[in-house]
Amino acid sequence: MAAAEAIVETRAVTKSYDNPEGHRIEVLAPIELAIYPETIVALLGPSGSGKSTLLRIMSGLLAPSSGQVLWHGRPLDGQLPNVSIVFQNFALFPWLTVLDNVEAPLEAQAVAEVERHKRALKILDTVGLDGFESAYPKELSGGMKQRVGFARALVVEPDVLFMDEPFSALDVLTAENLRGELLELWLGKKMPTRAIFLVTHNIEEAVLLADRTVVLGRNPGRIRADFPVALPFPRDRKSARFLALVDHIYKVLTQPDVEHAPPGRREEPAARDGYQRLPHARPGGIAGLLEILIDRGGKDDLYHLADELAIEEVSDLLPIIDAASLLGFIRVQEGDVEVTPQGRAFAEADILTRKSLFREAALQHVPLLKQIASALRAKSDRTIPDDFFFDILEEHFNREEAQQQLDTAIHWGRYAELFDYDANSGRLHLTES
Amino acid sequence: MYQPPPAPSLVEERPGTAWSDLLILAFGLAVLYGVLTLGRSWLGPVEASAAISPRPGALPGYAAYSLLRMTVAYVLSVGFAIVYGYTAAHSKKAERLMIPVLDIMQSIPVLSFLPAVMLAMIALFPRRQLGVELGAILLIFTGQVWNIAFSFYSSLRGIPSELIEAARIYRFNRWQRLMKLELPFSALGLVWNSMVSVATGWFFLMACEMFKLGKRDFRLPGLGSYLQAAASAGDTRAILWGLAAMISLIVIIDQLVWRPVIAWADKFKFEQVESSAVPQSAVLGLLRRSPTLAWLRDRAVRPLGERLALHLARKARAPVEGGPGGRKAWLAWLGRAAAAAALAGAAFGVLRVGMLLAGLTQAEIVEVLRGAGATFLRVVCALVIGTAWAVPAGVAIGFSPRLARIAQPLAQIAASVPATALFPVVLLLFIGKGQGLGVAPVVLILLGTQWYILFNVIAGAMGIPSDLREAARIFRFRRVDRWRRLILPGIFPYLVTGLVTAAGGAWNASIVAEYFHFQNRTLQTVGLGSLIARAADSGNFDQLITATVVLAAIVVLTNRLLWKRLYHLAETRYKLES
| Residue B398 Cα, gap to closest chain A Cα (Å) | 29
> Is the Cβ–Cβ distance between B232 and B520 less than 8 Å?
yes
**CB-CB neighbors (< 8 A) of A93 in chain B:** 163, 166, 180-181, 184
- What's the rounded Cα separation, in Å, for the pair A195 and B48? 74
> Is the Cβ–Cβ distance between A410 and A428 less than 8 Å?
yes
**How large is the C-alpha radius of gyration of chain A?**
24
- What's the rounded Cα separation, in Å, for the pair A281 and A362? 13
**DSSP per position, B132-162:** HHHHHHHHHHHHHHHHHHHHHHHHHHTS-HH
| Residue A161 Cα, gap to closest chain B Cα (Å) | 11
Phi, psi (deg, nearest 5) at residue A428: -95, 140
CA distances in angstroms from B520 to A211, B229, B234, B429, B434, listed in the order given: 90, 10, 8, 17, 12
> Is there a contact between B171 and A112 if contact means CB atoms under 8 Å apart?
no
> Over the stretch A87-108, which tens digit does the pLDDT of each residue have?
998 899 989 999 999 999 999 8
Tell whether A85 is within 8 A of chain B (Cβ). Answer: yes
> Is the Cβ–Cβ distance between B431 and B494 less than 8 Å?
no
- What's the rounded Cα separation, in Å, for the pair A348 and A351? 9
Total Cβ atoms within 10 A of residue A388: 12
Closest by Cα among A280, A282, A304, A281 to A292: A304
Nearest to B313 among A90, A107, A136 (CB): A107
End-to-end CA gap in chain B: 39
**CB-CB neighbors (< 8 A) of A134 in chain B:** 8-9
- What's the rounded Cα separation, in Å, for the pair A368 and A393? 9
- What's the rounded Cα separation, in Å, for the pair A242 and A246? 6
Three-state DSSP class for residue A190: coil
- What's the rounded Cα separation, in Å, for the pair A104 and A151? 11
- What's the rounded Cα separation, in Å, for the pair A104 and B167? 9
A45-67: b (≥16 Cβ within 10 Å) or e: bbebbbbbbbbbbbbbbbebeeb
> Is there a contact between A91 and B309 if contact means CB atoms under 8 Å apart?
no
Tell whether B298 is within 8 A of chain A (Cβ). Answer: no
Nearest to A59 among B169, B306, B317 (CB): B169
Nearest to B314 among A95, A110, A134 (CB): A110
Query: Hey, what amino acid is at A429?
Result: H
- What's the rounded Cα separation, in Å, for the pair B132 and B125? 8
- What's the rounded Cα separation, in Å, for the pair B535 and B547? 9
- What's the rounded Cα separation, in Å, for the pair A10 and B191? 46
pLDDT of residue A162: 95
Total Cβ atoms within 10 A of residue B514: 28
Query: Model ipTM?
Result: 0.74
Number of A–B residue contacts, CB under 8 Å: 83
pLDDT of residue A41: 95
pLDDT in tens, chain B (578 residues): 344 444 444 444 444 456 677 777 777 887 788 777 777 777 666 665 667 777 888 888 888 888 888 999 999 999 999 999 999 999 888 888 888 888 778 777 777 777 778 878 878 877 777 788 888 888 889 888 888 898 899 889 888 888 999 999 998 988 999 999 999 999 888 888 888 888 888 888 877 887 777 677 778 888 888 888 887 777 888 888 988 998 898 888 888 888 888 888 888 877 666 655 666 777 777 777 777 777 888 887 888 888 888 888 888 776 554 444 556 677 778 878 888 888 888 788 788 778 777 777 788 888 888 888 999 999 999 999 999 999 999 999 888 878 877 887 777 777 777 877 787 777 777 766 555 567 788 888 888 788 888 888 888 888 787 778 888 888 888 888 888 888 888 888 888 888 888 888 888 888 888 887 776 677 778 888 888 888 877 777 788 888 888 888 888 888 888 888 887 887 777 766 54
User: CB neighbours of A280 closer than 8 A, spacing ≥ 6?
Assistant: A319, A404, A407, A408
- What's the rounded Cα separation, in Å, for the pair A338 and A326? 13
Per residue, the 3-state secondary structure of B400-440, as one string, reads: CHHHHHHHHHHHHHHHHCCHHHHHHHHHHHHCCCCCCCCCH
**CB-CB neighbors (< 8 A) of A159 in chain B:** none
- What's the rounded Cα separation, in Å, for the pair A226 and A54? 15
Q: Which residues of chain A have pLDDT under 50?
A: 1-2, 257-272
| Residue A29 Cα, gap to closest chain B Cα (Å) | 24
Per residue, the 3-state secondary structure of B222-281, as one string, reads: CHHHHHHHHHHHCCHHHHHHHHHHHHHHHHHHHHHHHHHHHHHHHHHCCCCCCCCCCCCC
Closest by Cα among B67, B217, B238 to B137: B67
